[in-house]
Structure 1
Amino acid sequence: MNFWDKITGNDMTKEFKAFEARVKKLPADYQAAWKEINDHLWPHSDFTGRNLMPILDGVLGLLEETAGDEQPIQEVLGDDIKGFCSALAGEEGAKSYRDNWRKQLNNNVVKKLGK
């Protein structure tokens, strides 16, 4: 990846287009689950969202594999997609921008208090 693509986000745009092309091949219920997964995972992203790309790729691979096996989406993800996404982001170490800001604020307070 060259510097210009990294700065402008062109590399991520290409990946998102590839993801969307893969999602269009999935059954309708899997596509709806993908949209919901995206909605719940993005709050765990860093400023650019690059930390979520491997996670999203893995989830899409899981959906493709289970759709190929013709498993129902509820059997794959369960009823709590938000909990699935939280567990997934927590296991992968994806911290949200709020976590980073909280850590920075705490560090600044500690410095000001002289501890």
Structure 2
Amino acid sequence: MGIRDIIEGKKQWRAHVARVKALPPDYQIVYKEMQKYLFKVGPIDLVDGSLLTGILEFFEEGVAAGRGVLDLTGDDVAAFCDGLIKDSRTYADVYQESVSGKPGTAGK
């Protein structure tokens, strides 16, 4: 990764954060909590993937439709996040594989 890739990545992230800040306060709170949760337990390709952008677009559509954030996610936001990543490989999966000693894992 070159310096230009790093700079471009920062520009994209700052634009993403600006879009989050444009959301109503309740949406911002839920988005930030989802982001923290996904960074802790989420998929390995979270940063490179489009999950956070997809959530942001989903929230922007909810705002445009005049819906409350919990109308979109439900009361259990963590369960909503788990549903989004249910088929994704997570850091917890990698750890479990490394301690179980399965072939082809980090425990070689």
**TM-score calculated relative to the size of structure 1:** 0.74
Contact 2:27 2:69 in 1 (8 A): yes
Provide the alpha-carbon RMSD of the alignment: 2.3
* 1:1-115 pair list within 5 angstroms: 3-5=1-3, 9-43=6-40, 44-46=42-44, 49-51=46-48, 53-91=49-87, 93=88, 95-106=89-100, 107-108=102-103
Return the letter of the residue paired with 1:56: L
Give the ranges of 4+ consecutive aligned residues of structure 1 lying more than 4 Å apart after TM superposition. 8-11
Contact 1:12 1:50 in 2 (8 A): no
Contact 1:37 1:81 in 2 (8 A): yes
Contact 1:30 1:63 in 2 (8 A): yes
Shift of 1:49: 4.4
Give the whole-Å Cα distance in 2 for the aligned partners of 1:56 and 1:5.
24
Contact 1:37 1:82 in 2 (8 A): yes
Secondary structure in 1 matching 2:82? helix
User: Identity over the aligned pairs, expressed in percent?
Assistant: 27
Name structure 1 gaps, 5 residues minimum: 109-115
Name structure 2 gaps, 5 residues minimum: 104-108
For residues 15-40 of structure 1, give each alpha carbon's deviation from its aligned partner in whole angstroms, at most 9, with x where no partner exists.
32111110111111111111111011
Q: How many residue pairs are counted as aligned between the two chains?
A: 101
Mark the CA change 1:65 to 1:32 in structure 2 (over 3 Å): closer, same or farther.
Answer: same
Mark the CA change 1:40 to 1:32 in structure 2 (over 3 Å): closer, same or farther.
Answer: same
Tell me which protein shows more helix as a share of its residues. Answer: 1
Query: Which has the larger Rg?
Result: 1
